[in-house]
Amino acid sequence: MLDLNDVALFVQVVRCGSFAEAARRLGMPSNTVSRRVQQLEAQLGARLLQRSTRKLTLTQVGEGFYERCVGAVDGLMDAGQALMHGSDEPAGLVRIAAMADFFDFFPMEWIADFLAAHPRVQLDFVLSDARVDLIADRIDVAFRGGVLQDSGYVGRQLLGNASDGMVASPAYIAAWGMPTSLDDLARHHSVNFPHPSGLSQWQLIGPDGHEVEVQISSRFNANTAQALRKAAVAGLGIAVLPSALSAMDLETGQLVRVLPQYQRNGFGLNVLYPSRRQLPLAVSAFIGLVMEKLELKAFPARPR
């Protein structure tokens, strides 16, 4: 019979990324943690971790075993914490992966309120536009824009697709004129997401509902929507931005709409987590926070 304590040790090692860090958090000698994981592997008759001097890596078998065990281990830990503290209070560390400009749209005040309401929860944010490996990077929950890929993770959509519109600064329009048709865009500059081919083009939906492709001249490229917004405000060209991202600048007059009858299909926001088992209370509480706030404020996501 498997020793469930060894299974819990294995889960902790994966989350910490090393035997030494897991031992430090658990208050145990590192060689003891390593030995007990080896005993678990011997009982299972399979190698779970590839060990090197630089890092630990899950084997394919280890990844599958981790996914099946992590929810159960977290559930037992939550149950024990709830009994010890006489409540179902969320507790523990939650590691969150999100796009680099997450806090440009998700006010830090919401995080402060969440931590005040859950004093036993700790949040670690990994902010990057690169897609992380939830298991290898020990991520509990990740937010991603675009279409969900079949990654083996549990995922659900938080925001449906929205519409992006063309905007530019009044200074740019004063210098280059206001386009009155799509053909006019050929003589204008744009700011855009970089494309591997080096070409710049927009797929827009016209008032008749049909999609049209427009070739554009891009004088500034960047891989975050926030950078494109700032470039448009600075007068570098026309940008296609999510409505929630450009709304405040449109209200203050820093941006104006360009050919508003043409839109681009935006991308929704999805949440991913690695286990199909019961989520830890702290993770569920944080996902609940995001879902609650998104009902009050549109959250733009960028194409991947």
Strands of the 141-145 sheet, one edge to the other: 121-127, 92-98, 141-145, 269-273, 154-159
Q: What is the pTM of this model?
A: 0.52
With both helix axes pointing from N to C terminus, report the angle between 4-16 and 60-85 in degrees, rounded to the nearest 10.
110
The per-residue pLDDT for 302 is 41
What is the pLDDT, as a whole number, of residue 299? 42
pLDDT at 219: 80
Return the pLDDT at 258: 96
pLDDT at residue 101, rounded to an integer? 75
Q: What are the pLDDT tens digits along the chain (304 aa)?
A: 777 788 888 888 888 888 888 888 778 888 888 899 999 898 888 899 888 766 788 888 888 888 888 877 776 666 665 555 545 678 888 999 988 778 877 889 999 999 999 998 999 999 887 777 777 777 888 887 655 554 556 666 665 555 689 999 999 999 999 999 999 998 999 998 887 665 678 889 888 888 898 888 888 988 778 889 999 999 999 999 877 678 889 999 999 999 999 988 765 677 787 765 567 788 889 988 887 776 555 444 443 3
Domains (range + CATH), the chain: 4-83 (1.10.10.10), 89-161+268-294 (3.40.190.10), 163-265 (3.40.190.10)
Q: What angle do CA 151, 197, 244 make, to 5 degrees?
A: 65
DSSP state letters, 173-242: HHHH----SGGGGGGSEEEE---TTS--EEEEE-TTS-EEEEE-EEEEE-SSHHHHHHHHHTTS-BEEEE
Q: Do the beta carbons of residue 44 and residue 65 sit within 8 Å? A: yes
Amino acid 304: pLDDT:
36
Taking phi over 0 as left and psi of -120 to 50 as alpha, with beta for the rest, 92 belongs to left
